[in-house]
Amino acid sequence: MADIIQLLPDHVANQIAAGEVVQRPASVVKELLENAIDAGATTIKLIIKDAGKTLIQVIDDGNGMSVTDARLSFERHTTSKIRTAEDLFSLHTKGFRGEALASIAAIAHVELKTKQEQDDIGIQIKIEGSEVVSQDVIATPKGTSVSVKNLFFNIPARRNFLKSNPVETRHIIDEFHRIALAHPNINFSMYHNGSDMFNLLVSNHRQRIINIFGGKTNEKLVPVDEDTEVLKISGFVGKPEFAKKTRGEQFFFVNSRFIKSAYLNHAINSAFDGLLREGTHASYFLYLEVDPKTIDINIHPTKTEIKFDDEHTLYALLRSSVKHSLGQFNIAPVLDFDRDSSMDTPYVFKNKVSSNPNIEVDRSFNPFGEEKASRGFSTSSKKESVANWESLYVGLESKSNVSSKDFTEVQFESDEVTSKMFDEENLEKTQKTFQLHNKYIVNTIKSGMLLINQHRAHQRVLYEDFLQHITVKEAVSQQLLFPLSLEFSNTEISILQSLKEQLEQTGFVFSKFENSVVEVSGVPVSVSESNVSLVLEQLINDVENEVPNSNFSQTDLLAKSLAKSLAIKTGQRLTIAEQENLVNRLFACKEASISPTNKSTFVTMSVEDLDKKFM
Ligand code: ADP
Ligand code: MG
């Protein structure tokens, strides 16, 4: 049989390598920024268009390349950063695999301009899908500019696989943050579709963090500093009370390289043990410096994973130094948190405050049978208050056991006592709903009964409302008396910006949309002034946590997020009118039976079902 093995042509090999190195526009951004840093740049500019799908350009003022190097840099396994295998163990640069430029050039239109300090003129090379299209001598400043256009132009499947622009932009911003945080000694700027998103001047670590995440970050940071023989740890952890629901602000840098490590993340979390509210994550910005000999960065093509020689020691050191800092800066000890939560008013009680007192008349009370009667009265009232006190903690449990007459009293305690005397019979006939445990609405129907989850039902109603407003007709908005000024970080602003149009359709009116401030002058009818900022924060949170690979549109995400934050909650008491209104609106929905997150909004129970229970 003839030999069948052959060497792959270069451009094919490059395309395959590209699959590993370049997953999305953000991967290109990372490689280009790293090359600029390795070239000793002091100022680096990132320009993107359409989330990097149309253009990614990085301009640096670094060392530049000679004509030969410029040509060679696009060949696979060409690097100026290591020469021998030993060099791998003393890496001080970001790159070393010599794959990035070759890979990128295999799947995009690339234009390189570069000039070294000592040269009078520079060179411009254009490459499309690994083929050199042109090479010219040009006038260009010292340094290098690489622009990458039409990413994945020759791999339609990859191009179609890219996410929406906001999601891809988000990934780019993440990479930009990681690199900018690791190198505060370099000026970074970023422009998207012609407007500037970040302009970060040379500063220290703390200032860089603040410049990226907003001025309000300053008060949240607790410094960490530990210098041992094995490693040096510096940076900051976020105070526990500012812990976020997202893992967004967790950054580990090893020798100025951002890395991911579940193991070290665990070390930090265990240092926060007992200090965080459930479901929240500590933020951290930690910089580790270790001897390059003791780590191996080579295990992952995109280089965000790393192997340490002695992980156990590292774990212990990290945990203790974070703990030490939290202690030293008087961060609330565990005890305070326990006390805080136990002092919270139970939810049910909060809602009880406004209800009218129940007047009970002791019919057996005989003012003339002095001693006995008065004693009887006082004990009964004492018992009553004890029972009430207990009910604060057991919610409605005690009430659900009481007789049906008491039950109507509970429902109508806000009604006037007089009306009750006359309407009792009538009401019994017309009242179709009642609320159970401030959580479910029970509704009688011909065949039996419906048990409706109030929170989910309302989510469905609001969700369809918002969807309709965003896609069909604009909602009315209520004008705020005084515009509300809200502060956000640049990233958060960019997320809001991407949803601005849809938000306006729902009824939001923005009178200002600036670098770090959004001014809201009108809100949807369902939003109250006091929860505007919560609603927007939740929205940002939801966009940031959007499940990768989900096919949902931004519009859908927005409608879901707003519905989730605005829907009446479990524990909220509803009047009869409110209950009925909710039930009617639910059944006017297109998909009444499921919540926007695909959970049942109600269950039915037929009379037969009930009968069976009594057999
Ligand atoms: P690596 O960074 O792993 O060496 P790359 O493919 O990213 O591989 O780059 C290949 C080579 O091209 C680098 O080793 C470097 O010599 C040169 N190079 C790339 N980008 C720049 C730049 N912005 N400035 C100067 N030289 C660069
Ligand atoms: Mg590189």
384: in domain:
no
Rounded Cα distance, 582 and 573, in Å: 13
Q: What confidence tier does 76 reach under pLDDT thresholds 50, 70, 90?
A: confident
Show the domain range for 138.
10-200
Q: What is the CATH number of the domain that holds 244?
A: 3.30.230.10
| Residue pair 242/211 in contact by the 8 Å Cβ criterion | no
Same domain, 459 and 556: yes
| Residue pair 253/304 in contact by the 8 Å Cβ criterion | no
Examine the fold and report which residue of 261, 294, 328 is the final residue of a domain before the chain moves on: 328
Q: In a mutational test of the pocket of ligand 1, which residue from 57, 101, 119 has the highest number of ligand atoms less than 8 Å from its CB? A: 101
Same domain, 80 and 181: yes
Q: What confidence tier does 540 reach under pLDDT thresholds 50, 70, 90?
A: confident
pLDDT tens track for 138-170: 999 999 999 999 999 998 888 888 888 888 999
What is the 95 CA–ligand 2 centroid distance (Å)? Answer: 4
- Residue 298 pLDDT: 62
Residue 18 CB less than 6 A away from ligand 1 = no
Same domain, 227 and 148: no
Nearest to 166 by CA among 20, 22, 25, 19: 25
First to last CA, the chain: 80
What is the 40 CA–ligand 1 centroid distance (Å)? Answer: 11
Rounded Cα distance, 543 and 528, in Å: 22
pLDDT tens track for 281-291: 899 999 999 88
Examine the fold and report which residue of 175, 200, 225 is the final residue of a domain before the chain moves on: 200
Axis crossing angle, helix 205-213 with helix 490-506, rounded to the nearest 10 = 10
- Residue 31 pLDDT: 95
- Residue 359 pLDDT: 52
Q: What confidence tier does 354 reach under pLDDT thresholds 50, 70, 90?
A: very low
- Higher model confidence: residue 242 or residue 399? 242
Q: What is the CATH number of the domain that holds 503?
A: 3.30.1370.100
Residue 143 CB less than 6 A away from ligand 1 = no
Same domain, 151 and 231: no
| Residue pair 418/359 in contact by the 8 Å Cβ criterion | no
| Residue pair 243/280 in contact by the 8 Å Cβ criterion | yes
| Residue pair 47/132 in contact by the 8 Å Cβ criterion | no
Candidate from 27-41, 77-91, 119-133, 491-505 with smallest mean pLDDT: 77-91
Task: Decide if pLDDT at 241 tops 70.
Answer: yes
pLDDT tens track for 7-33: 777 777 777 777 777 889 999 999 999
Mean pLDDT to the nearest integer, 432-450? 88
What is the 281 CA–ligand 1 centroid distance (Å)? Answer: 37
Axis crossing angle, helix 554-566 with helix 490-506, rounded to the nearest 10 = 80
Query: What 8-state DSSP symbol labels residue 103?
Result: H
Three-state helix/strand/coil letters over 459-484: HHHHHHHHHHHHHCCCCCEEEEEEEE
Same domain, 228 and 184: no
Residue 275 CB less than 6 A away from ligand 1 = no
Rounded Cα distance, 400 and 410, in Å: 10
Ligand closest to 102 (CA) is 1
Same domain, 507 and 561: yes
Which residues are within 8 A (CB) of 187 and not within 5 positions of it... i.e. 6 or more apart?
42, 43, 44, 200, 201, 202
3-state secondary structure of 85: helix
Same domain, 187 and 214: no
Residue 93 CB less than 6 A away from ligand 1 = no
Task: Decide if pLDDT at 552 tops 80.
Answer: no
Task: Decide if pLDDT at 81 tops 60.
Answer: yes
Residue 492 CB less than 6 A away from ligand 1 = no
290: in domain:
yes
Same domain, 269 and 129: no
Structural domain count, the chain: 3
Q: What is the CATH number of the domain that holds 102?
A: 3.30.565.10
Mean pLDDT to the nearest integer, 324-344? 52
Examine the fold and report which residue of 185, 200, 215 is the final residue of a domain before the chain moves on: 200
Same domain, 316 and 257: yes
Which tokens is 44 given?
């680096």
Q: In a mutational test of the pocket of ligand 1, which residue from 14, 21, 28, 38 has the highest number of ligand atoms less than 8 Å from its CB? A: 38
Surrounding ion ligand 2 within 5 Å at CB are 35, 95, 100
Same domain, 149 and 214: no
Q: What confidence tier does 264 reach under pLDDT thresholds 50, 70, 90?
A: confident
% of the chain with per-residue pLDDT over 70 = 81
28: in domain:
yes
Rounded Cα distance, 613 and 606, in Å: 11
- Residue 7 pLDDT: 78
409: in domain:
no
State the closest ligand 1 atom to the C-alpha of 143, by its place in the atom list counted from 1: 24
Task: Decide if pLDDT at 432 tops 50.
Answer: yes
507: in domain:
yes
What is the 358 CA–ligand 2 centroid distance (Å)? Answer: 76
